[in-house]
């Protein structure tokens, strides 16, 4: 493990400029991406959340960089328990759901769908739920069974959530009609 890079992540904060600094550093030093992924994929590492924050920004710009790590990323998604890690991971799932260039296997899609459904029905923060419902909506174009499931979940949960959740759910429900 690169100790100086680890320290850089450890000392980072949730501030956007700080996360963008790490994003830019990794994009300029692509050999650091495997260190960042190793930290992010290890939910027992105390700074894995910070690594997830930076990965979200990296993959937002260059989603193809996930390819060497895709199978590990998908297989470890279910291990995340902290909302601060699930939020960026669910957003990466959204990126994957709308990608025109990354072709997921049926098994990979099913694992992402399963995790997004879990995050949607569990007691998670609104941002994770919103990214999950949007990813599920995009996957529903191929897997039509998702539409009925998503409509049911969003309709049942709608009255019990915040205005932010209601806005996202309303948008998706309108698209599903």
Q: Is 26 exposed, middle or buried (0-12, 13-18, 19+ CB in 10 A)?
A: buried
pTM: 0.94
Residue pLDDT tens, the chain, 177 long: 689 999 999 999 999 999 999 999 999 999 999 999 999 999 999 999 999 999 999 999 999 999 999 999 999 999 999 999 999 999 999 999 999 999 999 999 999 999 999 999 998 899 999 999 999 999 999 999 999 999 999 999 888 888 999 999 999 999 998
Amino acid 158: pLDDT: 87
Amino acid 1: pLDDT: 67
138 sits in the region (left: phi over 0; alpha: psi -120 to 50; else beta) called alpha
Q: In this structure, what token pair is assigned to residue 112? A: 């992402």
Amino acid 4: pLDDT: 95
Amino acid 157: pLDDT: 85
Amino acid 159: pLDDT: 84
Cβ(103)–Cβ(111) below 8 Å? no
């Amino acid at each position: 493990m690169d100790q100086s890079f680890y320290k850089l992540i450890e000392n980072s904060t949730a501030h956007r400029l700080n996360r963008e600094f790490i994003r830019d550093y990794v994009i300029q030093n692509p050999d650091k991406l495997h260190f960042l992924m190793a930290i992010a994929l290890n939910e027992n590492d105390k700074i894995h959340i910070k690594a997830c924050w930076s990965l979200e920004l990296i993959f937002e710009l260059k989603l193809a960089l996930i390819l060497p790590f895709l199978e590990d990323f998908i297989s470890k998604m279910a291990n995340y328990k902290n909302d601060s890690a699930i939020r960026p991971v669910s957003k990466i799932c959204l990126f994957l759901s709308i990608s025109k260039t990354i072709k997921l296997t049926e098994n990979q899609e099913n694992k992402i769908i399963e995790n997004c459904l879990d995050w949607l029905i569990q007691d998670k923060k609104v941002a994770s739920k919103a990214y999950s419902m949007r990813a599920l909506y995009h996957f529903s174009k191929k897997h039509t069974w998702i539409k009925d499931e998503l409509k049911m979940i969003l309709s049942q949960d709608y009255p019990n959530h915040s205005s932010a959740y209601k806005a996202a759910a309303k948008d998706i429900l309108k698209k599903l009609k």
